[in-house]
C-alpha cells in the first residue's frame, strides 16, 4: 500500500484526524477503489481531478469509491445511503476486505485491516465482523439452525455450544419452531431473520448489513427495522447499514452518510442531512422524505426549566411522535434519559420546523382556494 | 496434390521407434503400475459373478426404490435383469457391469480433482479443455493400439481405453458445477472467514453435487458405449457376444446381447438420474432456478 501517502485531502467538512480516536469502531481514510486491469494509472488520473465519468470514458475503468473517509463510532447505527451504482455495496465490502481498495487506509477496532495477512484476515472475519446480505446468502443445503451456527462452526466452536448459541438467537429473532426447516421453506422475511441470527450468533462488535431489508415487503421491512433498533439498544453493537431508501436511513440511523458516484456527499446526524442538505443531490432526497420522522424534538425544543407538562416524550422522539399529542395538550415536555424534564415544545415550533426546512419554497405547490 | 514441404518420415519413424522403445524398456513397469486397476476390476467382477442372481436383483431393485420411492423404476430394473437372465446373458452382463463400475470409480477418483483444479484457475481450464476435447474425439482405436502394445491384450487396455473415453464429461461437469455455485452464497461463506478448503467441502461440493452426479451418469453411459470396442481387445462380456454375433453372422446373438447392453444402460441411467433429482430437491435448487 505504497500509494497511501499520496492520498489527496479529505472531503472539506470532515477534518481527518491522523490517529483515529480509540472509541472509533471503523475509520476509513481516503479509500479509493477502481475496477479494471490497471487501477494505479487510473488512480493518478482520478487524483488529478477528473470525474468518475471522465475517467470511465478515457480509460474504461470504473471508479467504485473515490477518496472516501468515514469515522464510525462504537455503538451506533451508521447508515450509508446512496442510489444503485453509488458504491455503497463496494464500501461495506472494504470493511471486511471482501474487496481490496486501490488506495486508502481502513482501521477497525484499532488494527489496520489492509496490513493483515490472509490468516489474520480470516481470524478477523471470524471474530470481529459479521455480515448480513441483501440476497441472504444462506446455505441452501443446511437447516436453519445449522445456518445460524455456520459462523461459529467456521470459528471452530464445538457442536454442542454452537447449537445452543444458534438456538438462542433463533428464538431472539422470533423463528422458534423453524430450527430444522430448510431455508427455501421460509418466506423472504424469515430467511433474512436467519441471516440476521447468523450474524448475531457470532457476537462480534461490528455487524455489516448490506441492503439487508431491501428485498423484503414494506410491512415486514418496517418490522425488521424496529427489531434491529431494539437489538442494537440491548446489545450495543456497531452496525454499518447500507440502504438506498432514505426513509429507512432516517428511521434507523444514528448517523447517515450519503454517497454518490463513489464519493461522499455529506455525513451527519439525520436532522443535519434533512435540515442542511449539502448539495442538490441530497436536496432531491430530502424533498421526498417524511420530515416529521427525520427531525428530533430535542433539536427544536425550548431548553430550560418549565412547569412540568401534562404530556411528555423522551428527547430521542421525533416530530411524528409528538404531533398527535397536540390534539390534547398545548405543550409537550421533553425528558432526558433519567426522566427529568429538560425542555418543552409547542405545536407552533413543530410546524415551523417542518415548514422552514422545506428546501425550496418556490417549488412547493400553490395552496388551493 | 499437396506439395511436400517437409519430409515427415523421420517424425513418423521417431514416434514408432519411441513407442517400441517404451514397450521394450518400460512395458513391465507400466504393467505393474496398472496392476491395482486390474485387481479392482477382477475383484468387482468376481464379486458380481459369485453373488447369486436373485441377490443382485434384489439389491438393484432396492437401490432403484431408494432413488425414486415409487414402484415404476424398480419394476423396470426387475424386468431388465430378468431379461438378461432369461437370455442366458447373466455372466456376460456381470462382466460388462464390472468393467463399467471399475471404469466409473476410477474416473471419479481422477476426474473430480481435475475438475476442482479447473474450476479454480482460468489458465488450468484453458490448458485442460483441449485435452478433454482430444480424449473425446480421437478415434479410440488410435490409443487402443498403443495401449495394447504396452499392456498386452486383455482387461487392462480395455479398462484404460474406457476410462480415457468416459472421464471427460465428469471433469467438465465437475468444473461447471463448482463454478456455477451461487456467488452470493460463496461471498457469505468468505465473509465468515472460511478458508478455501472449508468453502470447497462445505459449500461448493455439496451445492455442485447434482451437477457432479449428472457427470457420473454421463460417465457410466460413455463407459457402456465402449464395451463392444473394449471386447475386441479382450474385455469379454456382452460386447464379446455382439462381436461374435457379427463375426458368425448370427443376427440373433448380436441383437440380444445388444439389447442386454441397452438394459444395463437403462438401469444405470435411470438410477443415477433419480438420485440426482432427489439431491437437487433436497438442496432446493429445483425451485430456485
**Residues B92 and B48 sit within 8 Å (Cβ to Cβ):** no
What pLDDT is recorded for position A352?
79
Q: For an interface test with A, which of B190, B192, B200 has the most A Cβ atoms less than 10 Å from its Cβ?
A: B192
Q: Which of A98, A126, A184 sits opposite B287 (nearest CB)?
A: A184
Q: Is B279 on the interface with A (CB under 8 A)?
A: no
CA distance B284 to chain A (A): 6
Question: What class is the A2-128+204-288 domain?
Answer: alpha beta
Distance in Å, alpha carbon of A113 to nearest chain B alpha carbon: 14
Determine, for residues A125 and B284 on separate chains, whether the beta-carbon distance falls below 8 Å.
no
- Number of A to B CB contacts under 8 A, please give it: 71
Average pLDDT taken over every residue of chain A: 83
Q: What is the pLDDT averaged over residues B112-131?
A: 94
B39, B45, B51, B56 alpha-carbon torsion, rounded to 10°: 130
Question: What's the ipTM?
Answer: 0.78
Task: Compare all CA atoms of chain B with the CA of A143 and give the residue at the minimum distance.
Answer: B283
CATH class held by domain A292-363: alpha beta
**pLDDT tens digit sequence for A134-160:** 888 999 989 999 999 999 999 999 999
Q: Where are the domains of chain B?
A: 35-288
Interface membership of B184 toward A (CB under 8 Å): yes
Q: How many angstroms separate the CA atoms of A75 and A206, rounded?
A: 9
Chain B residue with the nearest C-alpha to that of A149: B192
Q: Is pLDDT of A12 > 80?
A: no
From chain B, the residues in CB contact with A140 under 8 A are: 185, 207, 283-285, 288
Query: What gap in Å lies between CA A229 and CA A235, rounded to an integer?
Result: 10
Helical pair B168-179 and B205-225, crossing angle rounded to 10 deg: 160
Residue B2 contacts A where some CB pair is shorter than 8 Å: no
Predicted pLDDT of residue A368: 46
pLDDT confidence of residue A23: 80
Asked if the C-beta of B32 comes within 8 angstroms of chain A's C-beta atoms, the answer is no
* Nearest residue in chain B measured CA to CA from A201: B192
B284 burial class (0-12, 13-18, 19+ CB within 10 angstroms)? middle
Task: For residue A186, give the chain B residue with the closest CA.
Answer: B284
What's residue A356's pLDDT? 59
Q: What angle do CA B149, B155, B157 make, to 5 degrees?
A: 35
Residue B166 has a pLDDT of 92
Mind telling me how many Å the CA of A129 is from chain B's nearest CA? 8
Q: How many Cβ atoms are within 10 Å of B73's Cβ, its own excluded?
A: 22
Chain A positions in Cβ-Cβ contact with residue B189 (cut-off 8 Å): 137, 139, 150
Report CA-CA distances (Å) from B196 to A10, A148, A352, B22, B120.
Answer: 37, 20, 59, 41, 10
Q: Is the confidence at residue A294, as pLDDT, over 90?
A: no
Percentage of chain A with pLDDT > 70?
90
- Residue B14 CA to residue A24 CA, distance in Å, equals 73
Do B185 and A184 make contact, defined as CB atoms within 8 angstroms?
no
Q: Which residues contact B141 (CB under 8 A, 6 or more apart)?
A: B229
* d(C-alpha A189, C-alpha A227), whole Å: 12
Angle between helices B140-151 and B155-166 (to 10 degrees): 150
Q: How far is A82 from chain B (nearest CA, A)?
A: 21
Give residue B216's pLDDT.
93
What residues in A contact B201, CB-CB < 8 Å? none
For chain A, count helices (H), then strands (E): 15, 14
Total Cβ atoms within 10 A of residue A41: 13
CA–CA distance, A150 with A173 (Å, rounded to integer): 16
Is residue A155 within 8 A of residue A167, CB to CB? The reply is no
What is residue A358's predicted lDDT score, i.e. its pLDDT?
Answer: 52
Give how far A253 is from chain B: nearest CA, Å.
24
Give the dihedral of Cα atoms A258, A263, A265, A266; nearest 10 deg.
60
For A78, A81, A286, the CA distances from A251, given in Å and listed in that order, are: 11, 12, 14
Tens of pLDDT, residue by residue over A41-67, are 888 888 888 888 888 888 888 888 988
pLDDT tens column, B152-173: 888 888 999 899 999 999 999 9
Q: Where are the domains of chain A?
A: 2-128+204-288, 292-363
CATH superfamily of B35-288: MetI-like (1.10.3720.10)
Listed range (A178-192, A246-260, A305-319) with the worst mean pLDDT: A305-319
On whether any CB of chain A is under 8 Å from the CB of B189, the answer is: yes
d(CA B99, CA A349): 89
Strand partners, A240: A78, A208
CA angle B201, B190, A138 (to 5 degrees): 75
Using the predicted structure, report yes or no on whether residue A85 has a pLDDT greater than 50.
Answer: yes
The shortest CB-CB distance from B206 to any of A98, A124, A141 is to A141
- pLDDT, greater one: B232 or B81: B81
And the C-alpha cell for B219?
460417465
User: Cell numbers 404531533 label which residue?
Assistant: A323
Question: For residue B206, which residues of chain A lie inside 8 Å, CB to CB?
Answer: 141
* Alpha-carbon distance B211 to nearest alpha carbon in chain A (angstroms): 15
Chain B residues with beta carbon closer than 8 angstroms to that of A183? 284
Tell me if A98 and B188 make a contact (CB, 8 A cut-off). no
Predicted pLDDT at B188:
93
Please state, as a whole number, how many other Cβ atoms lie within 10 Å of the Cβ of residue B64: 22
DSSP A298: G
pLDDT tens digits, one per residue of B86-119? 999 999 999 999 999 999 999 999 999 999 999 9
Give the pTM: 0.80
**What value does the mean pLDDT take over residues A288-292?**
78
| Lowest pLDDT segment from A109-118, A285-294, B57-66, B96-105 | A285-294
A79-83, A298-302, A336-340: range with highest mean pLDDT: A79-83
Is A10 a residue whose pLDDT tops 80?
no
pLDDT tens digits for range B241-289: 999 998 899 999 999 999 999 999 999 999 999 988 888 887 765 444 3
Interface touch B193/A123, C-beta < 8 Å:
yes
Q: Are strands A62-73 and A24-35 parallel, antiparallel or unpaired?
A: antiparallel
Interface contact flag, B192 A140, Cβ < 8 Å: no
Distance between CA B48 and CA B71 in Å, rounded?
Answer: 25
The residue of chain B with its CA nearest to that of A142 is B283
Set of chain B residues whose Cβ sits within 8 Å of the Cβ of A184: 284, 287-288
Model confidence at A5, pLDDT cuts 50, 70, 90, reads very low
A71 phi, psi to nearest 5 deg: -115, 125
CB B183 within 8 A of CB B124: no
The cell 416529521 sits on which residue? Answer: A292
Show the cell assigned to B41: 476390476
Testing the interface with B: which of A154, A181, A197 to mutate, by most B Cβ within 10 A? Answer: A154
Strand (E) or helix (H) holding A201: helix A188-201
Query: In Å, how far are A24, A76, A208, A238, B212 from A21, measured between CA atoms?
Result: 6, 15, 21, 15, 52
* Residue-wise pLDDT tens digits, B198-240: 999 999 999 999 999 999 999 999 999 888 888 888 888 899 9
Amino acid at each position: 500500500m505504497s500509494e497511501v501517502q499520496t492520498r489527496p485531502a479529505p472531503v472539506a467538512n470532515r477534518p481527518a484526524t491522523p490517529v483515529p480516536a480509540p472509541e472509533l469502531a471503523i475509520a476509513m481514510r481516503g479509500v479509493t477503489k477502481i475496477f479494471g486491469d490497471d487501477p494505479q494509472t487510473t488512480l493518478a488520473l482520478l487524483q488529478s481531478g477528473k470525474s468518475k465519468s471522465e475517467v470511465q470514458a478515457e480509460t474504461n475503468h470504473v471508479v467504485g469509491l473515490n477518496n472516501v473517509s468515514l469515522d464510525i463510532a462504537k455503538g451506533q447505527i451508521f447508515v450509508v445511503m446512496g442510489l444503485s451504482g453509488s458504491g455503497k455495496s463496494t464500501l461495506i465490502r472494504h470493511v471486511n476486505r471482501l474487496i481490496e481498495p486501490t488506495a486508502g487506509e481502513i482501521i477497525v477496532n484499532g488494527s489496520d485491516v489492509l496490513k493483515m495477512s490472509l490468516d489474520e484476515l480470516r481470524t478477523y472475519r471470524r471474530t470481529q465482523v459479521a455480515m448480513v446480505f441483501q440476497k441472504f446468502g444462506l446455505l441452501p443445503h443446511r437447516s436453519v439452525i445449522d445456518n445460524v451456527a455456520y459462523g461459529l462452526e467456521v470459528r471452530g466452536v464445538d457442536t454442542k455450544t454452537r447449537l445452543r448459541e444458534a438456538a438462542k438467537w433463533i428464538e431472539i429473532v422470533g423463528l422458534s419452531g423453524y430450527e430444522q426447516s430448510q431455508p427455501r421453506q421460509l418466506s423472504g422475511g424469515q430467511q433474512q431473520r436467519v441471516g440476521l441470527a447468523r450474524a448475531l450468533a457470532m457476537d462480534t462488535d461490528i455487524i455489516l448489513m448490506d441492503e439487508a431489508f431491501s428485498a423484503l415487503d414494506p410491512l415486514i421491512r418496517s418490522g425488521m427495522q424496529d427489531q434491529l433498533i431494539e437489538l442494537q439498544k440491548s446489545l450495543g453493537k456497531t452496525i454499518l447499514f447500507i440502504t438506498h431508501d432514505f426513509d429507512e436511513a432516517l428511521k434507523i440511523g444514528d448517523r447517515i452518510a450519503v454517497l454518490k458516484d463513489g464519493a461522499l456527499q455529506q455525513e451527519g446526524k439525520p436532522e443535519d442531512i434533512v435540515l442542511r442538505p449539502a448539495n442538490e443531490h441530497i436536496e432531491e432526497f430530502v424533498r421526498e422524505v417524511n420530515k416529521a420522522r427525520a427531525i428530533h424534538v430535542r433539536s427544536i425544543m425550548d431548553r430550560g426549566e418549565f412547569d412540568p407538562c401534562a404530556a411528555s416524550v423522551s428527547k430521542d422522539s421525533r416530530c411524528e411522535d409528538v404531533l398527535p399529542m397536540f390534539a390534547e395538550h398545548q405543550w409537550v415536555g421533553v425528558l432526558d434519559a433519567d426522566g427529568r424534564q429538560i425542555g418543552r415544545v409547542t405545536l407552533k415550533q413543530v410546524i415551523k420546523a417542518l415548514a422552514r426546512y422545506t428546501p425550496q419554497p418556490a417549488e412547493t405547490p400553490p395552496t388551493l382556494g | 496434390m499437396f506439395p511436400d514441404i517437409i519430409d515427415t518420415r523421420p517424425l513418423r519413424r521417431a514416434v514408432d521407434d519411441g513407442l517400441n522403445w517404451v514397450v521394450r524398456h518400460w512395458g513391465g513397469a507400466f504393467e505393474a503400475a496398472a496392476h491395482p486397476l486390474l485387481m479392482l476390476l477382477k475383484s468387482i467382477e468376481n464379486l458380481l459373478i459369485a453373488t447369486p442372481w436373485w441377490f443382485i436383483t434384489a439389491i438393484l431393485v432396492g437401490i432403484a426404490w431408494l432413488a425414486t420411492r415409487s414402484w415404476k423404476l424398480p419394476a423396470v430394473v426387475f424386468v431388465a435383469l430378468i431379461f438378461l437372465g432369461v437370455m442366458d446373458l447373466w455372466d456376460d452382463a456381470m462382466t460388462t457391469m464390472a468393467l463399467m463400475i471399475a471404469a466409473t470409480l476410477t474416473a471419479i477418483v481422477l476426474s473430480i480433482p481435475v475438475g476442482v483444479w479447473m474450476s479454480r484457475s482460468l489458465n488450468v481450464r484453458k490448458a485442460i479443455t483441449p485435452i478433454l476435447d482430444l480424449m473425446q474425439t480421437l478415434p479410440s482405436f488410435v490409443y487402443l493400439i498403443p495401449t495394447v502394445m504396452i499392456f498386452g491384450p486383455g482387461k487392462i487396455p480395455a479398462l484404460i481405453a474406457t476410462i480415457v473415453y468416459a472421464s471427460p464429461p465428469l471433469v467438465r461437469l465437475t468444473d461447471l458445477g463448482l463454478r456455477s455455485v451461487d456467488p452470493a452464497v460463496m461471498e457469505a461463506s468468505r465473509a465468515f472467514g472460511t478458508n478455501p478448503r472449508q468453502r470447497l467441502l462445505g459449500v461448493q461440493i455439496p451445492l455442485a453435487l447434482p451437477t457432479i452426479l449428472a457427470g457420473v451418469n454421463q460417465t457410466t453411459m460413455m463407459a457402456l458405449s465402449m464395451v463392444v470396442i473394449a471386447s475386441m481387445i479382450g474385455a469379454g462380456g456382452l460386447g464379446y457376444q455382439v462381436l461374435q454375433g457379427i463375426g458368425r453372422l448370427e443376427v440373433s446373438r448380436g441383437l440380444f446381447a445388444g439389447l442386454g447392453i441397452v438394459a444395463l444402460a437403462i438401469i444405470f441411467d435411470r438410477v443415477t438420474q433419480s438420485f440426482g433429482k432427489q439431491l437437487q430437491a433436497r438442496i432446493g435448487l429445483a425451485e430456485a432456478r
